[in-house]
Amino acid sequence: MALTMASVMSQKRDVERDVRVMVVDDSAVVRGLVSRWVNEEPGLVSVARYSNGKLAVDGVAESAPDVIILDIEMPVMDGLTALPLILKACPTAKVIMASTLTRRNAEISFKALSLGATDYIPKPESNSGVTTSAEFRQHLLEKIKVVGRRLIATSARRAARSAPNSHSTVASKAHATNAGQQQAAGAAQNADQIQLRPFSLVRPRILTIGSSTGGPQALMSLFPQISPALDTIPVLITQHMPPTFTTILAEHLGRVTSRVSKEGAEGDIVKPGVIYVAPGTHHMTVREKDGNVVIHLDDGERVNFCKPAVDPLFQSVSNIYGNATLAVVLTGMGQDGAAGGKVIADKGGSVIAQDEASSVVWGMPGATAAAGACSAVLPLNSIGPKITALLRGVGR
């Protein structure tokens, strides 16, 4: 059947439609304010708001949101209890957990990620804080747009694959690609356009990893695979996270690997077999001191709008380890890690990026791949075996 103009326009509308947002929070002030922010943002529309998890579970199927902002502490039914019920009623929805920066809420947010939440956002402690925080508004809307547009683009690609003829598939894929490029700030490229470099011939002496949106889930999947091969090298991680959350991340990585895993502290000697996580308050870098490689924490300006940021870590590691550096860029928004990854590659080290299909957001890994820094672009379940092979001196 020939492709009609009506079908092309229908596919285009599917990709370009507004992201539908549901807000679930027991505070009427927060519900009203966030819904207003959403409606004022081009490309977003508020479709429902509820004061507790039970109302959200009952209304989510009818509201059909793309993205749900879900508070943790609510009466009748809290966010963690509601989460699996919401996803059962509306499996395509992406849930962003919102919580204040307490240790308890950080633990609950990590639990939510394991139950299917896509991301989290730290929320100011008071309603007045939410009202006056331009940073919270900016970060929240950015997360909604990136996660929502990714969902819509993915849905369009799936619809294209089931279309009755290849012409409609090509048209829909083109529109989906345009949406995806907007999410990754123009960084993503088609696989056949990515220029790969050879892996270093030198066995790695350090593993360094950068990640953001979707990163905690990716790290928890990756580390049980690679832990047996980490006895001889240190691991340094920058995950875009606020304080307290980075503490919990380090503890979780320690539990899944049965290794020492900690937030990096000023002057820590970098030791093989130990996992160091950048604290949520500083950039983590390395330097040489008295014949040792030690952690240095930098309280300077944000890099790529982030603190901690991946680029400072990657660049400092490359200065010391050169072509014995192995770096991995996992799922995340923006382009942090691309510049640092290119420095590593230019000094002869090896960089692996997570592929688009397995990433929650193909911003950081897509930008790194587009920069020509990568020796491989792999699905998440293939990265662990590749790292293990490289650390054992094979797999190049």
Helix H or strand E encompassing 389: helix 380-391
Distance (Å) of CA 338 to CA 27, 146, 201, 239, 287 = 40, 18, 22, 14, 21
282 φ, ψ to 5°?
A: -140, 155
Instruction: Give the tens place of pLDDT for each residue, 144-171.
Output: 999 999 999 888 877 777 666 544 444 4
pLDDT of residue 55 exceeding 60, the answer is yes
pLDDT of residue 1 exceeding 60, the answer is no
Q: What pLDDT, on a 0 to 100 scale, did the predictor assign at position 361?
A: 95
Fold match, 5-154 / 195-391? yes
Question: Higher-confidence residue: 289 or 396?
Answer: 289
Band of pLDDT at residue 210, cut at 50, 70 and 90 = very high
Closest CA to 124 of 54, 80, 56, 71: 71
195-391 classified as CATH 1.20.58.100: no
Percent pLDDT > 70 in the chain is 88
pLDDT of residue 85 exceeding 60, the answer is yes
Q: What pLDDT, on a 0 to 100 scale, did the predictor assign at position 125?
A: 81
Q: Lowest mean pLDDT of 14-18, 60-64, 122-126, 214-218, name the range.
A: 14-18
Rounded CA separation 304/282 (Å) = 14
Q: Where are the domains of the chain?
A: 5-154, 195-391
Q: What pLDDT, on a 0 to 100 scale, did the predictor assign at position 155?
A: 82
pLDDT of residue 119 exceeding 80, the answer is yes
Segment 130-133 long-range contacts (CB within 8 Å, at least 24 positions apart): 130/29, 130/30, 130/33, 130/34, 131/29, 131/33
Rounded CA separation 145/152 (Å) = 10
Q: What pLDDT, on a 0 to 100 scale, did the predictor assign at position 168?
A: 43
Question: How many CB atoms sit inside 10 A of residue 312's CB?
Answer: 26
Catalogue the active-site residues.
212, 240, 336
pLDDT of residue 122 exceeding 70, the answer is yes
Selected from 3.10.20.90, 3.40.1230.10, 3.40.50.2300, 3.40.50.1000, the CATH number assigned to the domain covering 5-154 reads 3.40.50.2300
Average pLDDT over the chain reads 90
For residue 339, give the 3-state DSSP assignment.
helix
